[in-house]
Amino acid sequence: MRIAELDVIPIALPFAHPYVSATGRLERREMLLVRIECSDGTIGWGDAVPLSLRGGPGMAAVRRELEGACRPELVGTAIGAEPARLAAGARARCRARGAGRQAGSAIDIALLDLCGKLEGRPAWRLLGARAAAPVACNASIGADPPELAAPAAVSAVRAGFGTIKVKVGDAGELDRVGAVRAAAGPGALLRVDANGSWDVASATDRIASLEPLGIELVEQPGATAADLAAVRAATAVPVVADESVGDLATATAAMRLGAFDAATLKLAKVGGPHAAVEIAAAVPAYLSSALDSAVGIAAAAHTAQAMRRRGFAAGRAHGLATSPLFADNLTDDGHLSGPEIEVGDAPGLGVDVEPEAVERLRLR
């Protein structure tokens, strides 16, 4: 049995409402769907989510990596008695040919799905977890005006979310977070995400203004690890790194600098599930979404099972419940909407991508 095909399909998931953050405004989330098929017809799915709004490569560049570096390495490869071992070698060969982290994440996810199906095991077992538990998630609110953010917070609390993350980094942030706190009540944990939009002085001032509202943590309050270290030294609010941590080396360097209490890891940002598990073994970390499809969210939920949770990250909600932000997706994603995500024991990712949805969402 061999890998027979690797297809790269550009798709776009429409948002139910425009998604606004300090890095821009999105009407839809464009990404690349990766489909790997074996000669026996078994299919593994992955998604490559470009991070161009955060300084990463655009979709065209990621597609070139998938088609120029990964496809030649994978198509025609024989699958032996241990598919997961084959997958590890394939990931390394793709990297050696120049595949970046977004392309590598898609291949890692698709091979996890494929190998799990071939071996009859869920992806979380292939990642080294011994058991699976529900993944607690935060609700997400964009940089919306208070009159939209407040009812979103009410809906989140009613749905059972105990943690809400709010985008900040604009002139209306204090009113927005205040409206969310009033709507959610004093019992909800409230975290804010600046996406690196503040300088150190602004971050210190704005965190001081937000702190009386009861802030669990602030994600990426500055642009660099050095900025985060300076902000962290000046405030009592815990600091979590996001954009400034892209791999194991930057994560450990930032930790030595005292830049964070924890790091939040996106599969697309760090290179996939195996990379996330490796980083979490070295630094306190939890997962967040890069506004992935149902495939990517399922992969992250499986990854969470194998991650070491320690230090400040222990017990924190992951930021994976972003499926409700979309008006359409690759499959029925109700089970991925939170406030808890369960992965189950189905082989692979346990997500049945619908062919008609792929065609409906395909970019032409």
User: Which positions are annotated as active-site residues?
Assistant: 167, 266
- Fill in the amino acid letter for 72: P
Q: Which of 345, 354, 358, 355 has its CA nearest to residue 116? A: 345
Q: What is the DSSP letter of 232?
A: H
Q: How many CB atoms lie within 10 A of CB 344?
A: 11
Query: How far is residue 51's CA from residue 67's CA, in Å, rounded to a whole number?
Result: 18
**Across the strands, what pairs with 78?**
2
- Fill in the amino acid letter for 301: A
Tokens of 78: 């024989």
Does the N-terminal peptide bond of residue 50 adopt cis geometry, omega within 30 degrees of 0? Answer: no
Whether the Cβ atoms of residue 124 and residue 306 lie closer than 8 Å to each other: yes
Q: How many CB atoms lie within 10 A of CB 286?
A: 27
Q: Which of 338, 361, 333 has its CA nearest to residue 349? A: 333
